Amino acid sequence: MTATVSAAKSSTIEGRYRLLVDAITDYAIYMLDPHGLVISWNIGAQRSKGYTEAEIIGEHFSRFYIPEDREAGLPQRVLKMAAETGRFEGEGWHLRKNGSRYWAHVAIDAIRNAEGDLLGFAKITRDLSERKKAEAELKRSEEQFRILVQGVADYAIYMLDPQGYVSSWNLGAQRIKGYTQQDILGQHFSRFYTEEDRAVGLPRKALDIAAKVGRFENEGWRVRKDGSRFWASVVIDAIRESDGSLLGFAKVTRDITEKRETQRTLEQAREELFQAQKMEAVGQLTGGMAHDFNNLLMAVLGSLEIMRKRIADNPNITPLIDNAIQGAQRGAALTQRMLAFSRRQELNFEPLDVIELVRNMTDLLQRSMGPSMMIETHFPLSLPMVKSDANQLENALLNLAVNARDAMPNGGSLVIAAKLREIAKDESGGLKAGSYVCLAVRDEGDGMDEETLANAITPFFTTKGVGKGTGLGLPMVQGLMAQSGGKLILKSCRGEGTTAELWLPVAAETRKRKEEPAKEAVSAGVGSFNILAVDDDVLVLMNTAFMLEDLGHTVLQAHSGEEALKLLEDHNDVHLVITDHAMPRMTGSELATAIAERQPDLPVILATGYAELPPGSNSDLLRLPKPFNQNQLASVIAKAAAKAPIANITSAAGGR
């Protein structure tokens, strides 16, 4: 009874195992006898290999192997290994019934009875074709990626181990850094950093940050194999296993030296443009203020001059008038500086000998500098002539010398030097290509810091005490250089003194024009005229009329261009017109054009403090710079009389 129950249970267990094995479809599970003949076959074996149970039972399992493996005796070897060691496991190509190949994982276990006799083998085969295909695709993808990385020439892409030693190296890294793969593999990446960065531990800090937050990114100087430096953009990414353990770092470096230089040049150009726009705006404001001051000072100077002539010498009064005249003249000089800065100053350009000009004013410079200062001049044997205004260039040199004196309160040496320089077409610096004489004034003072140097030519900026400087000296020099077609360049460092360079274009003419002696109206005997004076400023107009009448002329007054044209229609005996330029609605230049259309022989004198007139203005008009005195007024009238047709001026004057 007991034996019967045990047999039934055993039969039931075997049946269940049989059902379990047959239900498995992803694995081929079958039995081999000791000689390798198939003695059992499950559904998974039929699905993966294509044979039915009836077709394969009793056949040798070697038919599942490819011909090359059968010829090499692989089936016999794996059974022998399983019999000897109890198990064989491996992967390889196997055949299906239809002859197609698939990649299989094989496990063969020896089956023995209690006495150790070999009963056969249990063989489990799994179809790994999809995995093999995926692995092949992955390998191909990795190889393509490796080739891609190796082929990138614009980026240095390489791997570091967790300690920072180089473990891979691409073509871009070799091109940028100069090291071959043999040179650098196994070396620490810190050798790419500058000595300064290594001294502060930057390489270690970069890896620590990348390991902590996953990424490190910055820009800085790096060193090539030959020792040269380049500006680099650096990215370091931490590479980790799936469990989070650190495998190393991926490092990408790009040489952006050229980009940095381009960006720096662009920023510099933007800054220069901003500075130019700022200076232009200040220049417009300064020019307008100077024009208004000129009108006021002209009224003051003219009135004082007439008063001085009409009052007999009185020790109690005339010194006060003379003092007032001197004060007004100093104010006029200030407006000239303002006009020079705004580039609206009337200049008399002519060829100048720089060596002769400096030599002639050496005594003046020495008196201005004082006994504690020593002036040295360093000039070549000869220099070509330059184009500039002699008086204004002398004023500029005097201004620079005074600045140098103030920078050396305990005395020192002032060096004035000049040399010929050539500017090429592709050379930057704001100067046109051509020949220039660089006239330099160098002192041994304390020099200027970067901020002071940047603001040195800003109008009204001064480091001197209250009442000791207007802040217009250097802007005046800059304005003169700009009008001359040159440039003022300041060079200074704290504790190393200051050098002011005046770049003056070489004159096309080689000789100085000889000017004719000035003609005084009264001494020339040109007579007295009927003169129309035009100005929108009542004070200036009244002052001009006083000076003209004092010279013996008859004066008509007009407050606008329109009023002047109406007076000319009503009076046909006007010999000369003196008009202000900056007037509303109709400028003096426009008035001169209108007069030329009506009375082409009527001389017109343009009174203005501006150097440049609008495009289309008559450049042949006689100019009277504001503020003017009576002698200047008489002189320009004499020039007009000499320039105008004799019949128009002298005959009319003689008939008076």
User: Which segment, 195-204, 384-393, 415-424, is predicted with the most confidence on average?
Assistant: 195-204
pLDDT over 90, % of the chain: 25
pLDDT at 401: 82
pLDDT at 468: 46
The CATH number, out of the four listed (1.10.4100, 3.40.50, 1.10.287, 1.10.10), of the domain defined by the range 267-339? 1.10.287
pLDDT at 514: 46
- The sign of the torsion formed by the CA atoms of 562, 568, 570, 574 equals positive
CA torsion 398→402→404→405, rounded to 10°?
130
What DSSP element (H or E) covers 215?
strand 215-223
The CATH number, out of the four listed (2.170.130.10, 3.30.1600.10, 3.40.50.1820, 3.30.450.20), of the domain defined by the range 14-129? 3.30.450.20
Query: Region 307-326: what's the mean pLDDT?
Result: 74
Query: Region 154-172: what's the mean pLDDT?
Result: 88
Neighbours of 244 (CB within 10 A): 6
- Distance, in Å, from the CA atom of 359 to the CA atom of 354, rounded to the nearest integer, reads 8
Residues of the chain with CATH 3.30.565.10: 350-505
pLDDT at 271: 73
Q: pLDDT: is 400 or 557 the higher one?
A: 557
Q: pLDDT: is 485 or 31 the higher one?
A: 31
**pLDDT digit string (tens) for 485-531?**
888 888 888 878 888 888 888 887 655 544 444 433 333 445 789 99
Q: pLDDT: is 304 or 241 the higher one?
A: 241
The model's pTM is: 0.41
| pLDDT value at 344 more than 60 | no
| pLDDT value at 196 more than 90 | yes
| pLDDT value at 285 more than 60 | no
pLDDT at 547: 86
What's the number of CA atoms in the CB half-sphere (13 Å) around residue 446? Answer: 10
Tokens of 462: 């001064």
Q: pLDDT: is 403 or 256 the higher one?
A: 256
Query: Region 250-268: what's the mean pLDDT?
Result: 85
Are the beta carbons of 369 and 414 closer than 8 angstroms?
yes
Q: Measuring CA to CA, which residue among 596, 599, 641 is closest to residue 619?
A: 596
pLDDT at 654: 42
Query: Region 329-353: what's the mean pLDDT?
Result: 63
Please list, in sequence order, all residues whose beta carbon lies within 8 angstroms of the beta carbon of residue 30, skipping any fewer than 6 positions away. Answer: 38, 39, 40, 41, 42, 45, 123
- Distance, in Å, from the CA atom of 441 to the CA atom of 443, rounded to the nearest integer, reads 7
| pLDDT value at 18 more than 70 | no
**pLDDT digit string (tens) for 533-553?**
999 888 888 888 888 988 889
| pLDDT value at 205 more than 90 | yes
Q: How confident is the model at residue 619 (pLDDT cuts 50, 70, 90)?
A: low
CATH no. of 152-255: 3.30.450.20
**pLDDT digit string (tens) for 77-129?**
999 999 999 999 999 999 999 999 989 999 999 999 988 889 999 999 988 87
Q: pLDDT: is 511 or 165 the higher one?
A: 165
Answer left, alpha or beta for residue 209, where phi above 0 means left and psi between -120 and 50 means alpha: alpha
CA of residue 57 relative to chain centroid, distance: 86
- Distance, in Å, from the CA atom of 477 to the CA atom of 457, rounded to the nearest integer, reads 9
**pLDDT digit string (tens) for 35-77?**
999 999 988 888 888 999 899 999 999 999 999 999 999 999 9
Tokens of 151: 């082929």
Q: Tell me the DSSP string of 570-625.
A: H-TT--EEEEES--SSS-HHHHHHHHHHH-TTS-EEEEES-S---TT--TTSEEEE
Residues of the chain with CATH 1.10.287: 267-339
pLDDT at 382: 84
**pLDDT digit string (tens) for 559-598?**
999 999 999 998 888 999 999 887 888 988 899 999 989 8
Q: How confident is the model at residue 433 (pLDDT cuts 50, 70, 90)?
A: confident
CATH fold label, 530-654: Rossmann fold (3.40.50)
Please list, in sequence order, all residues whose beta carbon lies within 8 angstroms of the beta carbon of residue 203, skipping any fewer than 6 positions away. Answer: 164, 188, 189, 190, 193, 197
Q: In the block, which residue shows the tokens 């980790």?
A: 240
pLDDT at 631: 85
Residues of the chain with CATH 3.40.50.2300: 530-654
What DSSP element (H or E) covers 112?
strand 101-112
Q: How confident is the model at residue 426 (pLDDT cuts 50, 70, 90)?
A: low
pLDDT at 519: 39
Query: Region 590-613: what's the mean pLDDT?
Result: 82
Q: In the block, which residue shows the tokens 């003092």?
A: 323
Q: pLDDT: is 9 or 133 the higher one?
A: 133
How far from 539 is each of 299, 303, 320, 531, 605, CA to CA, in Å? 6, 10, 22, 18, 19
pLDDT at 8: 46
Query: Region 289-302: what's the mean pLDDT?
Result: 69
CATH superfamily of 350-505: Histidine kinase-like ATPase, C-terminal domain (3.30.565.10)
Q: How confident is the model at residue 644 (pLDDT cuts 50, 70, 90)?
A: low
As a whole number, the mean pLDDT across the chain is 79
Are the beta carbons of 343 and 612 closer than 8 angstroms?
yes
pLDDT at 320: 75
- The sign of the torsion formed by the CA atoms of 301, 304, 308, 310 equals positive
pLDDT at 85: 92
